[in-house]
Amino acid sequence: MQYPGNLFVVAAPSGAGKSSLVKALMELDQRVSPSISHTTRAPRGQEVHGREYYFVSRETFDQMVAQDAFLEWAHVHGNRYGTSKHAIEQRMAQGADVVLEIDFQGAIQVKRIFPNAVLIFILPPSWEELRSRLERRAEDSADVIEVRLKNAAQEMAHAKEFDFVIINELFERALFDLKAIVHAQRLRFTAQRIARSDTFQALNIS
Ligand SMILES: Nc1ncnc2c1ncn2[C@@H]1O[C@H](COP(=O)(O)OP(=O)(O)OP(=O)(O)O)[C@@H](O)[C@H]1O
Ligand SMILES: Nc1nc2c(ncn2[C@@H]2O[C@H](COP(=O)(O)O)[C@@H](O)[C@H]2O)c(=O)[nH]1
């Protein structure tokens, strides 16, 4: 599949800061648009259906799987999460750059379908800081935090399969790195598109 928009995939262990970084990126860069995933997880305090996620029952999710409605989906921390094809294809066709905030399993599925997708992994600076961010966020029960920390080691082992790794210690520094990656990739994609087109011929440049 080839679209004029770019696809960026950001993954991280829970609490490393990917949602905060992607939100800050979108505030600075209007060309970046989020994908809203479907999940069987229950909404957290302030979350709204259709804004953070489409919160659906397992039956609805399974129906969507059967209908081949997902670009990718995975079991994460005991729930199901998926990116619907509808969520991204229309916007990429219109030339938007879409950012997916998904887990490593989904990221690997996306790379198989869109080899040009840029995979970015966010790491926390330490285990202690990861735990303390999850606790300070105060959105999940102690049990859920333990499950997420237990899964973090397995998730981080996949960082090497990503195109870029950002260590989110100082937030502003990590945001700068994320912006730099998006910018550099846009330039690379532009060069690739020009190479595929007859732009050089049209400009009479050999
Ligand atoms: N560089 C940072 N320094 C200190 N705190 C941070 C930093 N980045 C993010 N945080 C805080 O850490 C907490 C977790 O961040 P966030 O919710 O963005 O993580 P996440 O990776 O999206 O987690 P999840 O996958 O569970 O949604 C939030 O309270 C956020 O404000
Ligand atoms: N494979 C996918 N993973 C997804 C998707 N949407 C979110 N996620 C990942 O789930 C965990 C937990 O998220 P939370 O909101 O419950 O904290 C996190 O790693 C997300 O990136 C998706 O569509 N596909």
Q: What is the pLDDT of residue 175?
A: 98
pTM, rounded to two decimals: 0.93
pLDDT computed for residue 72 by the predictor: 97
- Which CATH architecture describes the domain 7-35+97-202? 3-Layer(aba) Sandwich (3.40)
How many angstroms does the Cα of residue 90 sit away from the middle of ligand 1? Answer: 29
Is the ipTM of this structure higher than 0.90? yes
The reply, when asked if residue 13 is annotated as ligand binding, is: yes
Distance CA 82, CA 61 (A): 8
User: What residues of the chain score a pLDDT lower than 70?
Assistant: 1-2, 198-206
C-alpha 104 to ligand 2 mean position (Å): 9
The pLDDT assigned to 102 comes to 97
pLDDT of residue 74: 97
Listed by start position, the domains of the chain span: 7-35+97-202
